[in-house]
Amino acid sequence: MPNVGRPSRDCYACRKRRVKCDLIRPECNQCQRKGLPCPGYRDELDMRFHVESVSSFQSHIGKDRRRTSNQDEGKPSALIDTRFQCAVTGQLKCHPTPADPSPHSSERCYTLQYRLAEPMKDHFMALAMHNFKLSLYLDERIYSTILRVVSKAETGSVLYQACNVIGCSYMANTTMSIEVLSHQPRAYGDAITAINLALHKAGESKTDNTFLGILLLSMYKLFSTGQTTVNSVLGSSEWKVHSSGLIQLTQLRGLENFSTPDKRNLLVIFYNMLLMQAIVTGRPPPKAILVWIQGFYQSCDPSEYPVVRHLIFSYHCSALCSRIRCLLNLGNLEKVLSDSHSILQDMEYLEKETYPLSHENPITDYIIEPPLVLCSDTDPVGQFSIDQYIHQIHIRMRVSHHILEFLSKASRAPYCTPEQRISFTHFQRRGVEELQALASKVSLISATDPDKYSHARLVYIDLYLNPHLSSRIRCRNVLLWQ
């Protein structure tokens, strides 16, 4: 419960000597003048709130200064050796022991002013996972799989330790508590130790617990600093090490990756993260991804065929973006110009590409409309779920962003002809129109349920921050969103 007084913010030494502290950090001037080491300050969060629990009630109830009755003076407290029971109603019942000398001793009931509160740290993991869901645009089906696997994690397991790291990191980033910050390295070390032990045990190395624990731990930086984005995490050296280890673990699991819907959903999470890595870094997606698509199709239920079609579309979008990013990173304008024709041709055929399942009619029957095709007001998502459709819009926006940047570089090549510049200008205008059309589709979806599809707003923000859009187009899109 909140303190009613104003607690002292002085350092421990000044409070002990009862002198005024100047609050200079890290060491106050009072301690420096005395030639003494300054012991530091209290955590300000600890000074603001006090959690009322059974133990705190037991330790402080005998120190009540407002006691007016004198009948208990000089008598030993009956609370020294008692059993406490906390009812859901917020009452503490004290059962006196036989040593109580009072002849009228009976069960006494102390009512708390406030109901016993759960520690705030118990809620940080849920908040962190919600942030994880929004960052990776996870749909409800996959997100519910994470929650089911996490709920089964045993104490001390890889997933348990990884969740502890994520919750601790999110809490430290949110509260900026020095005490919580000091726990982060220890929690991370415990998680690494649990992973090493699990990988050396044949029964634990292939479990969903180990797989999801390593996957969550690989995104540790996403929760440890507030300024970190998914792009920066997927482009870091730490993620490169974790992703290579997860690829080997996936190969070790073999057909077990596709045996149950939850296992397939976990693989989809890692699949999407590898595709995002390819977009950010310019490295092509791993070749194992094509094998995963085939294994997923052979093991899944017919109701999951839209997921397979969505995975194929995402793969070809990320492959095109990584190819463009690789060319831009080289900085060779002549190479950019020479590959412009094939890049634009791949973009034209993007929604129709179904490799490696080009001959499977159950997959080719699912149609993905190009961005400029207007969607229906009654059924905007077609054969896909709304979450899948939002992810398709997001990754297609990535393609349009890369195409605009690519054409801007190609048009500045020394040997670019006037005819090529005219063609590039046409495709640039088309790219802006595609982004406008995608913004309209996101607005239509978000209007159906703003709270449920709040991640659609993040896709729109990604569009709004595109540097290739003019201020006039941005204003128009803002009005469209509102």
Residue 103 has pLDDT above 70, yes or no: no
What pLDDT does residue 59 have?
Answer: 53
pLDDT at residue 294 above 60?
yes
Contacts of 407 (CB under 8 A, 6+ apart): 340, 424, 427, 428, 431
Identity of residue 76: P
pLDDT at residue 169 above 80? no
User: Which strand (E) or helix (H) includes residue 87?
Assistant: none
Sort residue 101 into left (φ over 0), alpha (ψ -120 to 50) or beta. Answer: alpha
Is the N-terminal amide bond of 26 cis, ω within 30° of 0?
yes
8 A C-beta contact, residue 272 and residue 136: yes
Are 276 and 321 spatial neighbours (Cβ–Cβ below 8 Å)? Answer: no
How much is the pLDDT for 156? 86
Helices 340-348 and 305-330 pack at an angle, to 10 degrees, of: 160
* Residue 77 pLDDT exceeds 50: no
pLDDT band at 124 (very low <50, low <70, confident <90, very high): low
Maximum pairwise Cα distance, the chain: 107
Please identify which residue in the block is written with the tokens 């990535």.
398
The pLDDT of residue 134 is 58
From-to residues of CATH 4.10.240.10 in the chain: 12-48
pLDDT tens-digit readout, 310-352 = 999 999 999 999 999 999 999 899 999 999 999 999 999 999 9
User: Is there a contact between 43 and 180 (Cβ–Cβ < 8 Å)?
Assistant: no
What pLDDT, on a 0 to 100 scale, did the predictor assign at position 216? Answer: 85
- Return the percentage of the chain with pLDDT > 90, whole number: 29
SS3 301: coil
> Which range, 106-120, 133-147, 327-341, has the best average confidence (pLDDT)?
327-341
The CA–CA distances, whole Å, from 468 to 68, 198, 344, 409 equal 75, 48, 18, 13
CA neighbor of 31 nearest in space, from 9, 47, 16: 16
> 39-42, long-range: CB within 8 Å, 24+ apart, which pairs?
39/11, 39/12, 39/13, 40/11, 40/12, 41/9, 41/10, 41/11, 41/12, 42/7, 42/9, 42/12
* CA distances, 86 to each of 58, 81, 92, 161 (Å): 12, 16, 5, 30
Do 466 and 401 form a contact (C-beta atoms < 8 A)? yes
What integer is the mean pLDDT of 407-412?
Answer: 92
Edge-to-edge strand ranges of the sheet holding 83-86: 83-86, 91-95, 108-111
Tens of pLDDT, residue by residue over 426-474, are 999 999 899 888 888 877 776 666 555 555 555 554 544 444 444 434 4
Least confident of 121-135, 160-174, 346-360: 121-135
12-48 to CATH, choices 2.40.50.140, 3.20.20.110, 3.40.50.10420, 4.10.240.10: 4.10.240.10
Sequence-separated (6 or more) residues with CB below 8 Å from residue 466: 401, 404, 435
Query: Which range, 1-15, 163-177, 274-288, has the best average confidence (pLDDT)?
Result: 274-288
What one-letter code names the amino acid at 301? D
Label residue 298 by pLDDT band (50, 70, 90): very high
> Which pLDDT does position 194 carry in this prediction?
92
Place of tokens 């004198």: 70
| Residue 391 identity | H
DSSP assignment string, 380-441: SSTTS-HHHHHHHHHHHHHHHHHHHHHHHHHTTSTT--HHHHHHHHHHHHHHHHHHHHHHHH
Render pLDDT for 353-394 as a digit per residue (tens, 0 to 9).
Answer: 999 999 999 999 998 988 988 766 555 566 788 878 888 888
pTM of the full predicted structure?
0.68
